[in-house]
Amino acid sequence: MKVKSNILLIYTGGTIGMIKDFETGALKAFNFSELLQNIPELKLLEHTIDTVSFKDPIDSSNMNPVYWIQIAKIIEDRFENYDGFVVLHGSDTMSYTASALSFMFENLTKPIIFTGSQLPIGDLRTDAKENLITSIQIAGLQKQGKPVISEVGLYFEYKLYRANRTTKINAENFQAFSSSNYPPLAESGVHLSVNNNVLWKTNRRRKTKLHTNFNHEILILKMFPGINESTVEHMLSKKNLKGVILETYGSGNAPTDAWFINLLKKHISKGLFIVNVTQCIAGSVSMGQYETSTQLKKIGVVSGKDITTEAAVAKLMYLLGSELSPKVFKTIFETSLRGEML
């Protein structure tokens, strides 16, 4: 017997929410109050679907922590009324937003599934319908009266990923996202197959708690051959700067020039948090493995291990909002909080 779940669909903006005006050829915002009329396939689902939309849907390029909190508040205010949530979001910054929500909801006991599309929902060859329909099915999965998924996921092109493990890798293909360091949570084919062994385990005895304190005074400093002292000094001297994502080579390697190490050391001593994340699409930071990362470890750079840049940004903002001591910050950042790192 199939279980009927109550699902809330949240539209924030993005390509999936567009429909083509066939008279003008222009894209226009989709009216989600008429969802069932425009996507009759949803009537075949066993779930009850309600919708809520941003008053002014935004392009995901304009996404920021204020909107992250808005999405989270919509979910928190309706948390007891629904069994699962599906967030429709532009694909360009979806991994950032989905990662952020994974940290915001401590001890999440219900699924929050992000999805979107590469083509508008009204396009003849759209990927939007499959992404939307399957995301709703996943959000509604239950076993013995409990949600099968109890974490923030990202569904795209037949695969459900842990959201804070994802990166957008392609601007044109339907398979737009990758989770190089963690396997899919579920795959959609003839059957919907869930990989139960890799799902995040939640303590259902504890209540879900929302955290909304973000400090976004951070920046990403990407290493490249030829980076110079004046550039790094200028960036690290930014007023009110609290944290830096240092995108290094390979397994966490960076220049060994004295000026570089001394600059980082100086700013760390003044209270700046610096996290080492690899530029590689897969693999992990392992500081001390090579001479080019040994100095970083000695001066107090924090290891991002195998975290993505997107998740590192969200986690850094999240932890900076708690005003932790350097020692506590390092311990917590290097610990997996929501399955974002090994």
User: How would you write 289-325 as a 3-class SS string?
Assistant: CCHHHHHHHHHCCEECCCCCHHHHHHHHHHHHCCCCC
**pLDDT at residue 35, as a whole number:** 65
CA 280/CA 309 separation, integer angstroms: 10
For the cut 70, the answer to whether the pLDDT of residue 34 exceeds it is no
Average pLDDT score over residue span 205-232: 96
Supply the residues annotated as catalytic: 15
Quickly state the pLDDT bin for 33 (edges 50, 70, 90).
Answer: low
Average pLDDT score over residue span 46-64: 91
**Packing angle, helices 229-236 and 258-269, rounded to 10:** 10
For the cut 80, the answer to whether the pLDDT of residue 141 exceeds it is yes
**pLDDT at residue 170, as a whole number:** 94
Amino acid code (one letter) for 61: S
3-state secondary structure of 281: coil
Instruction: List all residues 6 or more positions away from 184 whose beta carbon is below 8 Å from its beta carbon.
Output: 159, 160, 161, 195
Q: Tokens in use for 258?
A: 């004295």
pLDDT one-digit tens code per residue, 68-102 = 999 999 999 999 999 999 999 999 999 999 999 99
Average pLDDT score over residue span 121-148: 90
- Cβ proximity of 85 and 188 under 8 Å: no
pLDDT one-digit tens code per residue, 190-209 = 999 999 999 999 877 789 99
Percent of the chain with pLDDT over 70: 95
CA 131/CA 188 separation, integer angstroms: 10
For the cut 60, the answer to whether the pLDDT of residue 1 exceeds it is no
Please tell me the pTM assigned to this model. Answer: 0.94
For the cut 80, the answer to whether the pLDDT of residue 294 exceeds it is yes
**pLDDT at residue 18, as a whole number:** 76
Closest CA to 263 of 216, 302, 288, 299: 299
For the cut 70, the answer to whether the pLDDT of residue 30 exceeds it is no
For the cut 60, the answer to whether the pLDDT of residue 237 exceeds it is yes
> In whole angstroms, how far apart are CA 262 and each of 200, 229, 242, 273, 305?
40, 10, 18, 15, 23
What are the CB-based long-range contacts (under 8 Å, 24+) for 323-332?
326/268, 326/271, 326/273, 326/300, 329/273, 329/302, 330/300, 330/302
For the cut 90, the answer to whether the pLDDT of residue 37 exceeds it is no
**pLDDT at residue 288, as a whole number:** 83
**pLDDT at residue 336, as a whole number:** 97
The secondary structure of residue 253, as a DSSP letter, is: B
For the cut 80, the answer to whether the pLDDT of residue 121 exceeds it is no
